[in-house]
């Protein structure tokens, strides 16, 4: 026995799709293809398209080899974040004391058959 895991790849910014699993899963892993190793600190926010802040992930750490981001959470929490309608995610980083936008994602949920 093990856990059922659903992996979502958001790419490197721009438009992305959160595929809602057709069968129940235990965990969702989100892969963000950005190399964030050059930043002193990184955070990501999840917002509604109107700018309403839903959640902030602070002190995001990269994969030490690729610099990319992997986020993992229980499926019900992931569904609250991504499946409830269109979302905007902003990834920002602090470099030399200045916070800058690394990437912005426009995420649309998609139910798979």
pLDDT greater at residue 83 or residue 57: 57
Q: Residue 80 pLDDT more than 90?
A: no
Angle at 56 between CA 105 and CA 80, to 5 degrees: 75
Mean pLDDT of the chain: 94
Model pTM score: 0.90
Angle at 30 between CA 75 and CA 14, to 5 degrees: 125
How many domains does the structure of the chain reveal? 1
Q: What CATH number corresponds to the domain at position 18?
A: 2.60.40.10
Q: State residue 84's pLDDT score.
A: 85
Q: Which helix or strand (DSSP H or E) is residue 76 part of?
A: helix 75-78
Domain that holds residue 33: 5-111
């Amino acid at each position: 026995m093990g856990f059922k895991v659903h992996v979502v790849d958001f790419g490197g910014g721009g438009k992305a799709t959160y595929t809602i699993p057709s069968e129940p899963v235990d965990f969702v892993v989100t892969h963000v293809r950005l190399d964030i190793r050059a930043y002193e600190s990184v955070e990501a926010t999840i917002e509604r398209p109107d700018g309403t802040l839903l959640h902030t992930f602070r002190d995001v750490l990269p994969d030490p080899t690729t610099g990319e981001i992997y986020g993992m959470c229980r499926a019900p929490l992931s569904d609250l974040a991504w499946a409830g309608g269109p979302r905007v995610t902003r990834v920002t980083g602090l470099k030399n004391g200045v916070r800058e936008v690394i990437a912005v994602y426009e995420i649309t949920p998609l139910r798979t058959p």
